[in-house]
Chains A and B, each alone.
Chain A
Amino acid sequence: MDRARIIFIVLSIYIIAAFGWWTYAHYRNNKTIYLQQKDVLEMRCYKATFDIHGAIDQQLFDDTLGMKTFFDPNYPDLEVIFLDSFLPMDNFMVRPKLASYQELEDTYHRKLWMYITEGAVMMLLLLWGMIVIYRSFRKELFLKKMQNNFLLSITHELKTPLTAMKLYLETLLKRQVSQEQLKTIAENSLNEAHRLQDQVEKLLLSAQLDSNKYTIENQSINFSELLQEIITNFKKQNPNEQWIQSTIQDQVFIKGDPTALEMIINNLITNAIKYGGQNSTIEISLQIKGNQAVFSVGDQGPGIHEEDKKMLFNKFFRIGDENTRKTKGTGLGLFIVKHLVELHNGKISVRNNQPKGTIFDIKLQSDAE
């Protein structure tokens, strides 16, 4: 991984340096050409002077007018100046026209600007391209790591319940167990079966969401009642472990899918219990703000780092290393929640709880009666 990064950086530096050198070489060439053209122009003056002297000797013309008619078409970029009005044919000088200089200079500057702007644009494009490549490269690495983490967690999450169930069944076949033990074994096995079912359903659901094959119903739901029901259920399941404090505004209606909504609520509360730590309080609230129903779940766990917050809703994302994980999971829960919220045209966000912990907010369009 690091070797690839080093190769990429070295290659980038080489390309930028090579391109920079290229641009500089063009700039130098341009200047050389300009200076040489200026020299050529000045040399043509000598040649013209020489030619005209020859023409005078051959008496091709005998006055300044004749000389000018000979000179101008042959040397359009030069001009002749007569220095002595009495003996003009003996005392003249040839020099480049001001416009000729101007033209050379203009060409020089035009090219200079061309190289500078083109160089700059190309350099920007190059940098942009490199950044794009680097980003996708990093994303690739990240995806690979996530895939790896996912493989580990899914291996664990699917195989563990299976192993336990199988072991229990083998135990029943092999051993004589007491009625009490039998009950424990059956209960535990059932528990593991539920766990497996849960994981499989999550996997299938996330696959459906991924391929946009999951559709939701659109009916009017009493969010307050639904939430209250679920909370009561949770309190029944964990009678004394955790405190759930809820402030729920009555008669909050939204349009949506009750099953999906239940999944959203369940997922967030389960997460809060899982990551909140022992004896921590979970705060649940539901209220109408403007025309929106705002549902929040807060825990008092260790909280989430800023950089992890960005990745939180990605498929398979789990914080930390899978090998030394305290909490079990597949990294699908929040991915599913986010998709389901978005299918309801809602928004999910995460912020820090005070003094510590995390709060998830979900905003859904309220369905005013």
Chain B
Amino acid sequence: MQNRILLVEDEVHLQHAIKLNLELEGHQVQISGTGTDAIKIFREQKFDLVILDIMLPEMDGLMVCENIRMYDQQIPVLFLSAKNTPADRINGLKKGADDYLTKPFELEELILRINKLIERSKQIKSSNENKVPKLFKFGNNWINFENHEAQGIGGKFELTKKELMLMKLLIENKNQVVSREHILKVVWDYTVIPNTRTIDNFILALRKYFEEDPKMPEFIQSARGIGYKFTSPELKEA
């Protein structure tokens, strides 16, 4: 599968040169020229990596990075900036970036770093996936992630694929809020995020399965305006 990269850079020729090279490496590149536009695009689409310039019109790259981190802790962010003092680099890394490359840079180095970052984040993702046990118990419920079977309030039943993925995602990030954008990106595999109530319907269904009182959910809680989180007071792992 092609990796999707968000390139935030306001210099037209640099945009062109970087995009050309990344595309020749087999990546798909989306370009954004301003900080505010970058945030908008990031929230609407699914990416595997973000390349950020620091000196940008409207909003600087550091703020963009902080903003991205509010919605997605995992995605690798690489700063590509002309600012090259140690203080600049430290600041960039502190704001949540994974790597910092100064201009002018070596093409080879940029490509290697990008590939490594993407590869590493994919490894982390898959190892996270393995963290959830095959049979996961919470309260009086359990879910078997292998054969889609589950035990809920109304007894045994079978979860659909999407329901299973959604539960898995929430449980992987237990006690953390998972944003709606992130859910749509992972579970529905959207590259372009639609304005949809799909998630809400799925959450309603899941609450009906597992919650004693779906109006006062114990496990699947809402974080108003952001997304959902899974909490369980006594997390038993089978």
Residues of A within 8 A of B (CB): 152, 155-156, 159-160, 162-164, 166-168, 170-171, 174-175, 181, 184-185, 188-189, 191-192, 322-326
Q: Are A324 and B59 in contact (CB under 8 A)?
A: yes
Say whether, besides A170-B107, A324-B35, A188 and B60 are in contact (CB < 8 Å): no
Q: Are B17 and A323 in contact (CB under 8 A)?
A: no
Chain B residue with Cβ nearest A173: B107
Per a CB cutoff under 8 Å, which of A159, A174, A175 touches B104? A159
Say whether, besides A152-B83, A163-B105, A171 and B57 are in contact (CB < 8 Å): no
Q: Are A163 and B20 in contact (CB under 8 A)?
A: no
- Please, how many angstroms separate the alpha-carbon atoms of A159 and B102 in the complex? 10
- Please, how many angstroms separate the alpha-carbon atoms of A325 and B103 in the complex? 18
- Please, how many angstroms separate the alpha-carbon atoms of A324 and B62 in the complex? 10
- Of residues 1 to 45 in B, which have CB atoms within 8 Å of A's CB atoms? 11, 13-14, 16-18, 20-21, 24, 35
Q: Which residues of A contact B59 (CB under 8 A)?
A: 324
Say whether, besides A168-B17, A171-B21, A175-B21, A155 and B82 are in contact (CB < 8 Å): yes
Q: Are A159 and B82 in contact (CB under 8 A)?
A: yes
Per a CB cutoff under 8 Å, which of A168, A174, A326 touches B58? A326
Q: Are B13 and A162 in contact (CB under 8 A)?
A: no
- Please, how many angstroms separate the alpha-carbon atoms of A159 and B88 in the complex? 16
Q: Which residues of A contact B24 (CB under 8 A)?
A: 175
- Please, how many angstroms separate the alpha-carbon atoms of A126 and B98 in the complex? 55
Q: B55 in the interface, Cβ–Cβ < 8 Å?
A: yes
Say whether, besides A152-B83, A156-B82, A162-B104, A325 and B14 are in contact (CB < 8 Å): no
**Could you list 23 A-B pairs, sorted by A, with CB under 8 Å?**
A152-B83, A159-B82, A159-B103, A160-B14, A162-B103, A163-B82, A164-B17, A166-B104, A168-B13, A171-B17, A171-B21, A174-B21, A174-B107, A175-B21, A185-B17, A188-B16, A192-B13, A322-B55, A323-B54, A323-B62, A324-B55, A325-B57, A326-B58
Per a CB cutoff under 8 Å, which of A152, A164, A192 touches B55? A152
Q: Are A324 and B13 in contact (CB under 8 A)?
A: no
Q: Which residues of B contact A192 (CB under 8 A)?
A: 13
Q: B56 in the interface, Cβ–Cβ < 8 Å?
A: yes
The interface on chain B, measured as residues whose beta carbon lies within 8 A of the other chain's beta carbons, has a size of 27
Q: Which residues of A contact B83 (CB under 8 A)?
A: 152, 155
Closest CB pairs A-B (n = 8): A170-B107, A163-B104, A159-B82, A163-B103, A167-B17, A326-B57, A323-B60, A164-B13
Q: Which residues of B contact A159 (CB under 8 A)?
A: 82, 103-104
Q: How far in angstroms is the closest Cβ of chain A from B29? A: 14
Chain A residue with Cβ nearest B34: A326
Q: B234 in the interface, Cβ–Cβ < 8 Å?
A: no
Q: Are B82 and A325 in contact (CB under 8 A)?
A: no
Extra A-B contacts (5), CB below 8 Å, given A152-B83, A155-B84, A184-B16:
A159-B104, A162-B104, A188-B16, A324-B58, A324-B60
Q: Are A167 and B55 in contact (CB under 8 A)?
A: no
Q: B106 in the interface, Cβ–Cβ < 8 Å?
A: yes
- Please, how many angstroms separate the alpha-carbon atoms of A164 and B53 in the complex? 14
Q: Which residues of B contact A171 (CB under 8 A)?
A: 17, 20-21, 107
Q: Which residues of A contact B14 (CB under 8 A)?
A: 160, 163-164, 167
- Please, how many angstroms separate the alpha-carbon atoms of A189 and B17 in the complex? 10
- Please, how many angstroms separate the alpha-carbon atoms of A12 and B187 in the complex? 66
- Please, how many angstroms separate the alpha-carbon atoms of A324 and B84 in the complex? 17
Q: Which residues of B contact A162 (CB under 8 A)?
A: 103-104
Q: Which residues of B contact A324 (CB under 8 A)?
A: 35, 55-60
Chain A residue with Cβ nearest B58: A324
Per a CB cutoff under 8 Å, which of B11, B56, B57 touches A164? B11
Say whether, besides A163-B103, A170-B107, A188 and B17 are in contact (CB < 8 Å): yes
